Structure 1
Amino acid sequence: MLRIHFTPHDLQNVRVARQPDPLWELICGVCRLETGQGPLEFGHWRRSARARIAADPAAAHALGPVRQLVPAAGYIPDFLTPPVTGEGLSAGLELVRGTPRPRLVRELTRLAESRPVPAWATTLGRPGARDGLGLLTQALARSFRTLLEPYWPQIRSAVADDVALRGRTLLDGGTQALLDGLRPLAHWRAPVLEVDYPVRRELHLEGRGLLLVPSFFCWRRPTALADPGLDPVLVYPVAKIPPAAARTGGDGLEKLLGRTRATVLTAVAGPGARSSSEVAEAVGISLPSVSYQIGVLRDGGLVASHRDGKYVLHTATPLGRRLITGSGGRPRPGAATGPWHDRGHV
C-alpha cells in the first residue's frame, strides 16, 4: 500500500493532467507488451504491435534498449518519466536527454539491484562518452511511433473521458470528492490517500501538492515515482471500452455488462440526473439492487454520483455514454423510457 500524506496546502494543490503523457504511456505500454495482462483491453493492440515489430527490424532494434531498462514488474528508473508538462513527446524527450549524470548513476544502481544493467547504460551521461542519452531518446521516440502512435486518438479519447468525469466530480464536490472518486484504486481517509500498491510506502507531500495523471496503459493499480524527492505524481488507469463492445451489434452492451447493469446504465444516461429511486421505478428492480448496480458502474468509471441536498443523483459519464452509443445500446421498452416520479430517498 502507498500512503500519501496531505497537508491543508496540498489539498489546495491537487491537479489532474488534461491529456495523456506520452512517456508515461510508453513505459506502461512496454510493460503491457511484455505480459498477457488485460487480454480484453490490450489483446488487439498487443497483437498489432508485435506484428509491426516483427515486420520492421529498425523498430525492433530501437525497442531493445527500452526493454532493457523497463522490467514488466519492479523498479523502473524515474528519469524515463520526467515531469508531466503537457507539451508533448518532444518536450519529454528533451527532459530525459538532460538528466544529470549523478541521478542516472543513482537510479541505474538501484535498477541493478533487481536485474542486470546493460553495459551501454552505465556510460549514460558520462563526460566524453558517446551520446548515449541522445541514442536512448531516439529509441524512445521510435518505440512511441511503433507502439502508440497508431492508437493515440483512442488513448486521447479515453483519457479525455476520464478528465471530464474528474472535472465534474471536482465541480460538484470539491477536492474531497475528487479523491473519494478514485475508489476502488485508492481510498481517501483524511489526511491520507491509501493507494493499492505492490509494496508499502509512505509519501509525504509536504506542501508540494499532487498531480493525478490518467493513463490508458496503466493497469489495475496506480503507479508513482520511486523517488519521494521528485514532484509527486499518481498515475492511475482510466476505464477503457473493449473493442468487442463496438463489434457485437445492438446487444453488445448486454454482452459486456449483463442485462440488468446495461439497463441501469442506459437509464441514468437519460436527460438529467436521476436518483436511485427513479432508476428503480423505471427499470423495475428493487432499490438495493439499483444501488449495488450503480456502485459497480461507478467503480468502472461509467456512472458519476453527487449529492444534491438529501438526494444522491446519478448520471452517465462521457465514457458511459460513449459505450452506449458505440455498442448500439438503446433504452429497453418500459424501462428507461418510463415516466420519472418525484425524487425519493436513496
Structure 2
Amino acid sequence: MAVPVGVGSAELGNEVPHFFCGMRPRPLLNADDTPVPACPVPVDLNRQIPPGVPVSEAASRGALSSLVGRTRAQVLDAVAERPHSRTAQLAHCLSLSMASVSEHTATLREARLIDSYRHRGTVRHLVTPLGAQLLSGTEGRIG
C-alpha cells in the first residue's frame, strides 16, 4: 500500500495514476519504500466514479436522451431494433408524424448514427456502427 511522503522527497513528472493520492499529484511510497510520483485518477465529481466504471442502464439512457434529445434517441433506438424500416413504419411505431421522423432521421444521418437508402419509392433506415456503439451503453428501450 502506498503511503504519502514529503512533497520534496520525490520529483514529479511521470506520474502513476493513483485513486487515493488526493486532488493533487504527490509522491507516494511503494512496497519497497521508494518514492513513486502519483497523480489523481480523473473522477467525475457529479457521479463520483472514475472513467471506465460501468454506469446503470437508466443513467446511460438518460445521458443519451440528454445528448441527442428524447425523441431523437427513441428514433435511433427504433431504427436499431427494426433494421431496414421505412419512415412510415418508424412514425407508426413511435406515434410521431412522418415529417417529425423524417427530420430526426436526417439529423441522425448527418451525425452518421444511421444510414438511409431508397428502395422502391420508400426510404429505409439502418443504424451505423457508430450509432450501435452509442446505443451499446443504453441496452434496453429508450423513453
* Distance (Å, rounded) in 2 between the aligned partners of 1:252 and 1:319: 16
* 1:35-184 alignment runs, 5 A limit: 55-56=13-14
Aligned pair 1:331/2:132, yes or no?
no
Q: CA RMSD in A?
A: 2.6
Aligned to 1:291: 102
> Closer, same or farther in 2 for the Cα pair 1:313/1:257, shift >3 Å?
same
Distance 1:271-1:260 versus aligned 2 partners, 3 A rule: closer
**Residue type of the partner of 2:141?**
P
Q: Which residue in the other structure is 2:42 paired with?
A: none
Distance 1:320 1:258 in 2: 14
Partner SS state of residue 269, structure 1 = helix
Work out whether 1:281 is the aligned partner of 2:92.
Answer: yes
Contact kept, 8 Å, 1:252 with 1:329, in 2: the verdict is: no
Task: Assess, with a 3 A threshold, how the Cα gap between structure 1 residues 276 and 323 changes in structure 2: closer, same or farther.
Answer: same
Deviation at 1:288, TM superposition (A): 0.5
Please report how far the alpha carbon of residue 322 of structure 1 lies from its aligned counterpart in structure 2 after TM superposition.
Answer: 1.3
| In structure 2, C-alpha distance between the alignment counterparts of 1:267 and 1:318, rounded to whole Å | 15
| Structure 2 SS opposite 1:285 | coil
Deviation at 1:253, TM superposition (A): 1.5
Residue 268 of structure 1 aligns with which residue?
A: 79
Residues 259 and 313 of structure 1, relative CA distance in 2, 3 Å threshold: same
Is 1:312 aligned to 2:131, yes or no? no
* Highest RCO, 1 vs 2 (Cα 8 Å, sep ≥ 6): 1
1:329 deviates by 4.4
**Letter matched to residue 300 of structure 1:** A
Q: Write the deviation string for residues 267-288 of structure 1: whole angstroms up to 9, x where unpaired.
A: 0001431111000001111111
**Does the C-alpha gap of structure 1 residues 271 and 293 become closer, same or farther in structure 2, counting only changes over 3 Å?**
closer
CA contact 2:77–2:135 (8 Å) conserved in 1: yes
Deviation string, structure 1 residues 37-56 (Cα, Å, up to 9, x no partner): xxxxxxxxxxxxxxxxx834
Secondary structure of 2:78's aligned partner: helix
CA displacement, residues 94-124 of structure 1 (integer Å, 9 cap, x when unaligned):
xxxxxxxxxxxxxxxxxxxxxxxxxxxxxxx
Structure number with higher strand proportion: 2
Name the aligned partner's letter for residue 105 of structure 2. Answer: I
What is the TM-score of this pair, normalised by structure 2? 0.57
Amino acid at match of 1:331: R
Q: 1:329 to 1:257 in 2, by over 3 A?
A: farther
CA contact (8 A) 2:61 2:142 kept: no
Unaligned runs of 5+ in 2: 1-11, 15-50
TM-score (norm 1): 0.25
Give the match's secondary structure for 1:301.
coil
Cα distance in 1 between the residues matched to 2:139 and 2:72: 12
* Percent of residue pairs identical: 34
User: Residue deviations 1:37-94, cap 9 Å, x none?
Assistant: xxxxxxxxxxxxxxxxx834xxxxxxxxxxxxxxxxxxxxxxxxxxxxxxxxxxxxxx
Question: What letter matches 2:133 in structure 1?
Answer: R
Contact 2:83–2:127 (Cα < 8 Å) also in 1? no
- 1:250 & 1:300 partners in 2: Cα distance? 18
The alpha-carbon deviation at position 295 of structure 1 amounts to 0.5
